[in-house]
Structure 1
Amino acid sequence: MTISISLFSILVLAIIVKCEKEKIQSDLFSAANEILSSQRKATALNFIIAFNNETVEKEYGILINDLIIKSNSCAVYIEHADIISQRHRLFNVFIVENLKSFDLMYTKISSDTFVIDGIYLIIFIDNINMSDIEVVTRRLWNLFIYNANFLLYDSQEINLITFMPFSKEMNCGNTKPKIINQYVNGSFRWPEIQHYPEKLTNLYQCPIKVVTFNAPPMIMIKYSNDSFELHGVDGEMMTVLAKELNFKIDLHHISDLIRWGSLVNGTSTGAMRMVINNEVDLTVGMYVISNQRSKFMTSSEFYYTVPFILVVPPGSTMTSLKKLFRPFQLLVWILLLLIFIIAFSTVIIIRFQSKSVQDFVFGKNNRSPMLNILNGFFGGTQASLPKRNFARYLLMMYLMLCLVKRSLYQGALFQFLQKDDRNSEIQSIDELVEKDLKVYMLPSSLEHTQNMKFKNQRRAVNSTILSQKLMETLSPLSQHAVSSSLEQILYYNKLNYKNNTLTVCREHLFTFQYGIYFRKNSYLTRIFNKKISLFKSAGLIDFWSSDFISNKYLNMKIDDDGPRKINMEHLLGSFELFVAGALISIIIFIFEVLAVKFRFRPMQTFFEFF
């Protein structure tokens, strides 16, 4: 009888324990369902199941199916941890048996299969303690997963656990698990608490390691005693980001000669090496967003767009003789030439007419009508004036034309003689290729220019040599070009416009987009992108850049401060014309003398004709 009572008691106790366990299991999934229901933003749910024991998996099969049905999601994906396809999963529910099952799940987590800053709900079937959860949170934080909650039961309660990497207590990168809510008697004890609280809006003055360098005008580092200030577009943005997100910039100033470094065949140098090797959190300073860099680092969204250009030698200085033709456009010179052709042709035709016709058109005693045409054009006096009205009218109209043209020419010539006019610089890539100019650039620019027409003319050099080559392009005799971003050239011209300015090829290569580079899958990416997006929409980026960059310094022509004295260099062209004219006169005079001395009648007739 006693044995029967004992067996009955054990059976009743087993039933009670089983019922209690089933209730806890049911509450565990009910709590999960309430959390999933509150996340209406998710359009798709990903359930990943990891069990070591098939019997236990079958035991929970009904509850899992019920949870999936009640989730009311537009799309549901159910997978086992053994087989996970490459697909970016945003909202994820891990149903794991114990820590061993989680280890299986952990090996599958990567940026190819999950959105690292997505939402994670991890349901533990077995009862595990907080120290085990801390091991899990630490491993998740190493992957930069921070938006993770845990559901597990403890005694009669279902605990909702998470971790806060940053807090008021200056806990930076803290992974200690924290109970944020409890599910008791079919509901959460504190329903007003968010299931997924914001964790990165305030970094509580935790240090963020930033590697950078001087790269005007985007970033410039100014030291003062033991402190520093960041200036430039990137510098202003980083300073404001530090204030908005409440973090401290732990500055790592890499050599300005190394700067970005290079990234070739998976090996890196410079600032990029420090980011890839996890020595720092991010790097900023004129970083172009590229596919190659994004394989090893994560970039922010772009915040500044700038053309990539070529700095070319300026046009050679215009000769003083060529300046004499500057006051009039080509069309005006053509019309003047046409007037002379008509005048000379008319004289030649009239010369073969009778004496009365010549006197009627030229006037009496006008023996040199052709020379008189030139004499009148240059403002000389006429030796004999015509007596008849027709000849006077022709002369008057011609002299008025010459007077107007000569006055306009003289007025404009005074200004053109003093200007530093030059021949046009290289205007296009085709012209650069045609002249076979070498193109110097940094190794990091080779990736972006490998399909350009001048690819065989490229020369990769370090930043020191590139700066030297850039200064050499100030000379019109330079036989090379230098690649650069437009804002660097505008900034240089702004600082040096009174002395010299760099010349930019009018045909731009392409457009660059600048961004910040973080460690791969960094937790900082999302919060930085939010702030950067706000800065752009508010016009702050353009406002900061306006202090350092202005398009008015592009291929600028510097006006003279005032009138300058005419010197020999200005008048050299007129002297050259005088010497040329004098030589021609001497040669003609010699031929005239020879024609008379040797009585060469055809030549005498020719000279008398003119």
Structure 2
Amino acid sequence: MSNYISNFYKSTISILILSTSVLSKIAPQPVRKPAIAQPLNDLIDKLFVQKGTHFDIILYGGYFFEATDVIDEFPSLTGLKYAEKIIVTSPSWNHIMSKSAILFFPHLRFFMKFSLQVKLQRLYHNPLRFIVYCANMQVNDLQMISKPFYLNMSPGQITLYEYFLIQSQIGLELITFEWFTETECNYPMIISMNFFNTNLMRWKNELIIPEKFRNFHGCMLTIGVTVGRMHTALDEKNRPAGPSIDLFKAMATLGNFTWNYQLMVNDMYRGMVGVPRNGRIIDIQIYFQVPRVAFSRITDIMHLTTPFIEERVSFVLTEAEPYSSYEKLLLPFDTLTWIFCLTIFLCAFTCIFVINLTSPSMQNLVYGQKVTTPALNVIGIYFGSSQIKLPFENFPRIILVTFILFCLVLRTAYQGVLFEMVAGDMRKPLPKVIDDLYKMNYTISVGEDLEESLNETISFERSYQKILRLYQNHFPTSGGFLKEDLYSFISGFMMFHFHFLFELTDVTVQALITGGIIQHSFAMEEFSMNHAIYAESITVLNTKQKPKVLTVDDLSYGFTLWLVALMITLIVFLLELTAFHLGMRSYKILRHRVCKKV
């Protein structure tokens, strides 16, 4: 009996175990999402999807646990809208990377080997953005590898490894390199940009990737000024001057850094066709110089330094044509102000003409018997001549006083601005956009290396322009020759492309516009390297400021005062006229009654 009961219990337990195992197989298992899937998805959306940037997913060293799960999870998160392909590589892989990518490494040694093998190809119009995840990498590891990076790679390459996801106990830390911090200048520092809590599944900072370069923390930066190409001039003390220097000074104030310049003279362009032998053609080359980085050629802008990289299409502009004497007479006022003033005088002459058609009694009421040439008086009042014959009645006298006040305001403003224009060397503004050059039928000749960058610009204007390719062997750098017969003085430049590590927010852009440094006529897009800004075709204003042209708004107070005085005068005149007619009527009635009694 005991054996029977024992066997029964054993059978029951076996059935329960079997049922439990079957149910566990049938029941759906909870899907384990990888810890880095959500933060990586947020970074992809911020860096790639929102910017329309295509990227690759690179598994260096083959598949491993985190990378495999993340890739399986991606389609449900982003759909890989901008993902081009998934590349699985071996440690012997040696490739030139010219596209943004997400990089997975199963071990730190793979990442170290990759950093020594890979060659990065940066394109100005195709900036590279990288998100790096290395299994089991710690912040200390990143501190350790920053020094080999700094010694073996140029600063421009080190910062292209932009964002590192570092695993910690409760989440993922977003790490990057910065060159300018509160403690170090011109040295790569490890900076924690954000933190993703895997328990709460959210970022500490909702911006995900905050702006990196708020300012340069007062660091000293060097400007290299190359004399030889053509943009700006030296002042009387042989210091660089011009619109680009003004722009740089404004950015130094906004970006909180101090600056110095290094002057490099190059007379290689003297004696060329169209270049004056007695003058210098100057181009200003602005970049932030890292002292530890050596460079072989001044024109090798690509590898000068990380903080500032610039490329521009250069056009030479001669000194602007001066205004003629007749043009200066019209310059003090803008068109709308001239129309307003002429309208006032036209109304005055029209009123005089209409009043002359009325009865002599009405003319005596308005002009008075002494005034015989009212139209000539209007012209004399504007030029400030004294009025010998004044109207007899109060109303025309008040009208005359208000008109004298109006002409005084107008004449004083006009003469003040006209004096500044006549005394100064006022010149017509230089063209600020390429379209103006086309309209002026300039002949543009460029070096061979600029032909590709100008193709889109000149393709629709080939019928108006003759694009020459000169000095391909002796003049490989960018430059342009415009109207050789007008070379007398180089005073400005136009249209350039900037890549710089400066945060052009709405506030800083507005500050530059308000300060008269730039015009709001450029397109900005975020440039990947160190979260910089790529500003295309910034138009720098001419530093030679001309006197302010007066507008209607500037004269509005004087005009308002005159109009108020005119309205008060009109009201008083109507009241006076009404009282006069009522008084005359009462006088006639009273006189009639007196005569009737008599």
TM-score, normalised to structure 2, is 0.42
TM-score, normalised to structure 1, is 0.41
